[in-house]
C-alpha cells in the first residue's frame, strides 16, 4: 500500500496541470512518525507533498461540504462511501469531484502501536506489504500490520472504493466474513441496566471536546444541536446526563449514514470507542432494511425513504 504514494502524486500532478481540478485534498507526511496530516494542494508543483502510508486514517470526505471548486480527492473504501453519502445528501456534486480511489488493506491504529511500546517512542517507521518496522531508542520491532489494524478495518467489508475516477492500484479482495457484528451482539445480549452501566462507563472520561463529531464527515450541520444556545437542548458541562445525551443523539443522527470509517474513534483524545453506539445502529439498519451507507449515489438513505416491504406493519 505504501507504493500507492507515487501513483497518487503522478495522478494529482497530471489533473492539476491539465486543470481537470482546481485543487487536491489528500494527506501529507506528519511531523511525527505514525501520523499524517490532511492537506489541500492547489499548485501542481506542490503535489510532491502528497503522501500515502497505513496511517492515513482520517476521512477526507470531511473536508468536502460547502466547497464550490472542482476537487480531486484521495479516497479509501470508507472515504468513497462517505463521498457517496455527501452526494446523496446534496453536500457536493458528483461532477465537482475527481475521485482518486485507493484500494485499502486497512489502516494501522497508532494507539495499538503506542500501547505495544508501553511508553517508548517511535522515532522512525517503515512498512512493506505485510509488515511494519518501528524503530526508537534502543529498539526495533517488525510487526504484522494485520495485528495492529484499527478495529473498524478488521471488520471492513468494503475495502475498495465504491466510486472513483482513477484507481491507484489493483483492487483488493473483499472479506467474505459473514458476521462483522460480534461486539454488538455481545452488548445486545446483556440486560438493560447492565447495558446502561457499560455505556456510562464507556463515556466517563469524555471531555466534550467534540473531536468525534468534528472528525465525522456526517456532522456537517451548520449548527450542531449541542452548540445551539436558544433554545439550549443540552447542558454544556461535563454532567454525565448531558454527556450521554450528546453521544446518544449524535449516534442517532448518524443512523443509516455511518460507514464505520473509524475517524471518531481515532480522533478521540481520551481513547473512547464511540463506535460502540453507531455500530449498533449500523447493524439495525442492515438487519431491518438491508442497507449499508454510501454504497450507491442513486439510493436515498434508508431513514428518508419508504418501501412497500418495510418491516414495520403500522405504516402499510
Partner 1 sequence: MSDKIIKKEELTDILKALKETYEVIAPVKENGFYSFKPFKDGGNIDLNFTNTRLSPKSLLFPQSERIFEFNLDEKSKDGYIVKEHPKDYPPSVIVGIRPCDAKAFKLVNINFDNPEFKDPWWVKRMEAMTFIGLGCNEPSSTCFCTSVGCGPFNEEGLDVMLFDLEEYFLVRALTEKGEKLLKQGRVDKDVDEGLQKKADELRIKAEKKISSSVPTDKLKEKKINDLFNAPFWDDVAFACINCGTCTFLCPTCWCFDIQDEVTKTVGDRIRNWDSCMFPLFTLHASGHNPRPEKVQRVRQRFMHKLKYYVDEYNNGVACVGCGRCVKYCPVNVDVREVFSLMNGL
Residues of this chain that bind partner 1 (CB under 8 A)? 30-32, 35-40, 58, 62-63, 115, 119, 121, 123, 205, 207-211, 213-215, 223, 227, 229, 235-239, 263, 266-271
Q: In the structure grid, which three cell numbers stand for residue 42, read together?
A: 492547489
For residues 188, 189, 193, 196, the Cα torsion angle rounded to the nearest 10 degrees is -30
Q: In the structure grid, which three cell numbers stand for residue 70, read together?
A: 472542482
How far apart CA 54 and CA 202 sit, in angstroms, is 27
Which CB sits closer to partner 1, 62 or 282? Answer: 62
Taking the complex as a whole, the smallest distance from the CB of residue 316 to partner 1 amounts, in Å, to 42
Look at residues 97, 100, 103, 60 and name the one whose alpha carbon lies nearest to residue 79.
Answer: 60
Taking the complex as a whole, the smallest distance from the CB of residue 217 to partner 1 amounts, in Å, to 10
Q: How do strand 71-75 and strand 23-29 relate by DSSP bridges?
A: parallel
Which CB sits closer to partner 1, 211 or 254? Answer: 211
Taking the complex as a whole, the smallest distance from the CB of residue 37 to partner 1 amounts, in Å, to 4
Residues 6+ apart with CB under 8 A from 74: 8, 24, 25, 26, 27, 50, 52, 56, 60, 100, 102
Which CB sits closer to partner 1, 136 or 301? Answer: 136
Which CB sits closer to partner 1, 6 or 121? Answer: 121
Taking the complex as a whole, the smallest distance from the CB of residue 314 to partner 1 amounts, in Å, to 36
How far apart CA 67 and CA 183 sit, in angstroms, is 37
Q: How do strand 23-29 and strand 139-144 relate by DSSP bridges?
A: unpaired
Q: Phi/psi of residue 134, each to 5°?
A: -115, 135
How far apart CA 270 and CA 124 sit, in angstroms, is 25
Taking the complex as a whole, the smallest distance from the CB of residue 218 to partner 1 amounts, in Å, to 13
Q: In the structure grid, which three cell numbers stand for residue 76, read together?
A: 479509501
Which CB sits closer to partner 1, 180 or 262? Answer: 262
Which CB sits closer to partner 1, 86 or 162? Answer: 86
Taking the complex as a whole, the smallest distance from the CB of residue 156 to partner 1 amounts, in Å, to 20
Distances (CA, A) of 164 to 55, 60, 99, 147: 21, 14, 5, 29
Taking the complex as a whole, the smallest distance from the CB of residue 138 to partner 1 amounts, in Å, to 12
Which CB sits closer to partner 1, 160 or 243? Answer: 243
How far apart CA 254 and CA 233 sit, in angstroms, is 18
Amino acid at each position: 500500500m505504501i507504493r500507492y504514494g507515487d501513483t497518487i502524486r503522478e495522478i494529482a500532478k497530471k489533473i492539476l496541470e491539465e486543470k481537470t481540478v482546481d485543487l487536491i485534498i489528500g494527506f501529507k507526511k506528519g511531523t511525527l512518525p505514525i501520523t499524517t496530516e490532511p492537506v489541500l494542494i492547489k499548485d501542481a508543483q506542490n503535489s510532491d507533498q502528497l503522501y500515502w502510508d497505513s496511517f492515513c486514517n482520517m476521512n477526507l470526505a470531511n473536508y468536502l461540504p460547502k466547497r464550490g471548486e472542482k476537487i480531486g480527492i484521495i479516497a479509501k473504501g470508507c472515504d468513497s462511501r462517505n463521498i457517496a453519502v455527501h452526494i446523496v445528501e446534496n453536500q457536493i456534486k458528483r461532477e465537482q469531484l475527481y475521485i482518486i480511489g485507493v484500494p485499502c488493506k486497512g489502516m494501522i491504529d497508532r494507539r495499538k502501536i503506542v500501547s505495544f511500546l508501553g511508553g517508548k517512542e517511535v522515532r522512525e517507521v517503515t512498512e512493506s506489504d505485510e509488515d511494519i518496522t518501528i524503530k526508537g531508542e534502543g529498539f526495533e520491532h517488525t510487526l504484522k500490520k494485520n495485528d495492529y489494524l484499527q478495529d473498524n478495518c478488521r471488520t471492513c467489508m468494503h475495502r475498495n472504493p465504491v466510486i472513483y475516477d482513477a484507481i491507484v492500484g489493483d483492487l483488493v479482495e473483499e472479506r467474505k466474513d459473514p458476521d462483522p457484528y460480534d461486539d454488538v451482539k455481545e452488548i445486545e445480549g446483556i440486560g438493560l441496566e447492565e447495558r446502561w452501566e457499560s455505556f456510562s462507563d464507556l463515556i466517563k472520561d469524555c471531555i466534550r471536546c467534540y473531536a468525534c463529531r468534528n472528525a465525522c464527515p456526517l456532522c456537517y450541520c451548520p449548527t450542531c444541536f449541542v452548540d445551539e444556545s436558544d433554545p439550549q437542548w443540552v447542558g454544556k458541562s461535563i454532567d454525565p446526563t448531558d454527556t450521554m445525551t450528546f453521544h446518544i443523539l449524535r449516534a442517532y443522527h448518524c443512523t443509516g449514514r455511518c460507514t464505520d470509517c473509524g475517524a471518531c474513534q481515532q480522533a478521540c483524545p481520551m481513547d473512547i470507542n464511540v463506535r460502540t453506539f453507531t455500530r449498533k445502529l449500523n447493524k439495525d439498519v442492515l438487519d431491518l432494511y438491508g442497507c449499508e451507507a454510501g454504497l450507491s449515489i442513486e439510493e436515498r438513505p434508508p431513514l428518508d425513504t419508504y418501501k412497500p416491504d418495510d418491516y414495520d406493519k403500522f405504516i402499510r
